[in-house]
């Protein structure tokens, strides 16, 4: 491993560290309470009980029933399971699915897979501010539409969609509504029943829980078959021995995050405002991508004119600053971000955007250090402006 001196981490949309309280609750389930939850003796029952407590915490955080929560291995699995399995089981009702052009690849590629199985998918346009066009949604509904899948908050530009309106439209047209809420959990209060959300995806490592654990909420009125063939775990809907420690972790993490939503928002909004204020003061020709209204509080996505993001990211890394270009999932590719092109950036701009996402452990000194470092680097490498 590379030697780590002081690092400033501002890439919380890629992943977060695990909070101490979360880790502390997980630890006994590795060496002490290691029983298989399907076993009937005491350590098995202990594991089973821990899972059900965690399930209640996840359900309570989003206003769902405990019988509507399924644990998965990650956000990607939740998206795949929800979209593919709901679509397949409900194909007799119609074969049309509506999603948007700037979904996470877990959603886009699940839809692409379904197209090969004879489903028809509409990928809605997004406006230049980063919001799904509602009139476009209304116009694309057909008799055969069975599922609408629109993300709660975008992972690259942080824009929060009008989920209440989309939920209403889905309900009025008797169409199931799924939202990928992987970025939203911990940043917004969600009530799946009040918001007419029928299915939702989440992932613990985006809200200070461990990697490798996700959850899917699926309304109990919806029929779907297990994605994995195997045993009877998770009410026959997700075979495989439960990841007990991680399930305990997602339960604790969502409980803490949900309790802290308003405070977290205020804190991150202050950091973001400070960042934008200092940055625009010190570095000319900055463009912010996506609306600053209705946006995840910690997210800033920018282009700096005349700056190659690859060079900038390398130099920030040399200074111990961890941020990303676009999103972590796309960072090894030369292809421009599909999210940024969907809001109207050209290929060059989309390749050179930089995303800062602040989080729990960041403070004002971090923000000022980042801006000062950025300013020095830009002075050295700027080609114009």
Ligand X SMILES: *Cc1c(COP(=O)(O)O)cnc(C)c1O
Enumerate residues 99-118 that contact ligand X by CB under 6 A: 104, 106
Handedness of CA 333, 132, 280, 355 (dihedral sign): negative
Query: Closest by alpha carbon to 237, among 71, 114, 65, 352?
Result: 71
Shortest approach of ligand X to residue 201 CB, angstroms? 7
Q: Check binding of 210 to ligand X (CB under 6 A).
A: no
Q: Which stretch, 35-43, 48-56, 61-69, 199-207, contacts ligand X (CB under 6 A)?
A: 199-207
Distance CA 258, CA 292 (A): 23
Contacts of 96 (CB under 8 A, 6+ apart): 119, 120, 121, 122, 142, 144, 145, 146
Distance CA 171, CA 177 (A): 8
Shortest approach of ligand X to residue 53 CB, angstroms? 22
Q: Check binding of 18 to ligand X (CB under 6 A).
A: no
Q: Which of 182, 276, 283, 350 binds ligand X (CB under 6 A)?
A: 182
Shortest approach of ligand X to residue 351 CB, angstroms? 20
Question: Which stretches of the chain are DSSP H helices?
Answer: 20-26, 28-31, 42-62, 75-89, 105-116, 134-140, 163-172, 233-236, 244-259, 261-282, 309-318, 338-342, 347-351, 364-381
Please indicate whether residue 329 is annotated as part of the active site: yes
Q: Which stretch, 135-143, 200-208, 242-250, 280-288, contacts ligand X (CB under 6 A)?
A: 200-208
Distance CA 235, CA 285 (A): 55
Shortest approach of ligand X to residue 73 CB, angstroms? 8
Q: Which of 11, 25, 68, 180 binds ligand X (CB under 6 A)?
A: 180
Enumerate residues 129-168 that contact ligand X by CB under 6 A: 151, 155
Size of the site for ligand X (CB under 6 A): 15
Q: Check binding of 214 to ligand X (CB under 6 A).
A: yes
186: left (phi over 0), alpha (psi -120 to 50) or beta: left
Shortest approach of ligand X to residue 174 CB, angstroms? 26
Q: Which stretch, 138-146, 161-169, 201-209, 218-226, contacts ligand X (CB under 6 A)?
A: 201-209
Q: Check binding of 203 to ligand X (CB under 6 A).
A: yes
Options 285, 322, 329, 375, the catalytic residue: 329
Answer whether 54's CB lies under 8 Å from 242's CB.
no
Contacts of 107 (CB under 8 A, 6+ apart): 79, 83, 99, 149, 151, 180
Enumerate residues 33-92 that contact ligand X by CB under 6 A: 74-76, 79
Catalytic residues: 329
Q: Which residues bind ligand X (CB under 6 A)?
A: 74-76, 79, 104, 106, 151, 155, 180, 182-183, 203, 205-206, 214
């Amino acid at each position: 491993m590379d030697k780590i001196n002081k690092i400033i981490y501002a890439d919380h949309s890629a992943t977060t560290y695990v909070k101490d309280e979360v880790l502390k609750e997980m630890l006994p389930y590795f060496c002490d309470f290691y029983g298989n939850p399907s076993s009937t003796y005491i350590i098995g029952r202990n594991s089973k009980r821990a899972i059900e407590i965690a399930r209640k915490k996840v359900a309570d955080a989003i206003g769902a029933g405990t019988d509507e929560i399924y644990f998965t291995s990650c956000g990607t699995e939740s998206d795949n399971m929800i979209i593919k399995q709901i679509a397949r089981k409900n194909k007799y009702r119609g074969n049309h699915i509506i999603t948007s052009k700037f979904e996470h690849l877990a959603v886009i590629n699940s839809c692409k897979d379904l197209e090969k199985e004879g489903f028809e998918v509409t990928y809605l346009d997004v406006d230049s501010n980063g919001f799904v066009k509602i009139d476009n949604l209304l116009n694309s509904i057909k008799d055969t539409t069975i599922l609408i899948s629109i993300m709660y908050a975008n992972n690259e530009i942080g824009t929060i969609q009008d989920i209440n309106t989309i939920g209403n439209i889905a309900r009025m047209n008797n169409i199931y509504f799924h939202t990928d809420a992987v970025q939203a959990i911990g940043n917004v209060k969600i009530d799946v029943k009040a918001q007419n959300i029928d299915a939702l995806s989440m992932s613990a490592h985006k809200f200070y829980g461990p990697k490798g654990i996700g959850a899917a909420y699926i309304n109990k009125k919806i029929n779907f078959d297990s994605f994995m063939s195997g045993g009877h775990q998770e009410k026959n809907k997700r075979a495989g021995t439960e990841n007990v420690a991680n399930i305990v972790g997602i339960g604790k993490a969502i409980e803490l995050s949900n309790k802290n939503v308003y405070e977290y928002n205020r804190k991150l909004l202050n950091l973001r405002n400070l960042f934008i204020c200092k940055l625009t003061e010190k570095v000319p020709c900055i463009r912010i991508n996506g609306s600053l209204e209705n946006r995840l509080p910690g997210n800033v996505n920018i282009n700096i004119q005349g700056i190659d993001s690859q060079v900038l990211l390398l130099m920030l890394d040399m200074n111990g600053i961890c941020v990303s270009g676009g999103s972590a999932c796309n960072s090894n590719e030369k292809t421009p971000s599909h999210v940024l092109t969907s809001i109207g950036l050209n290929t060059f701009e989309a390749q050179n955007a930089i995303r800062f996402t602040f989080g729990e452990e960041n403070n004002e000194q971090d923000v000022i250090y980042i801006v000062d470092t950025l300013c020095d680097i830009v002075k050295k490498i700027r080609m114009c402006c």
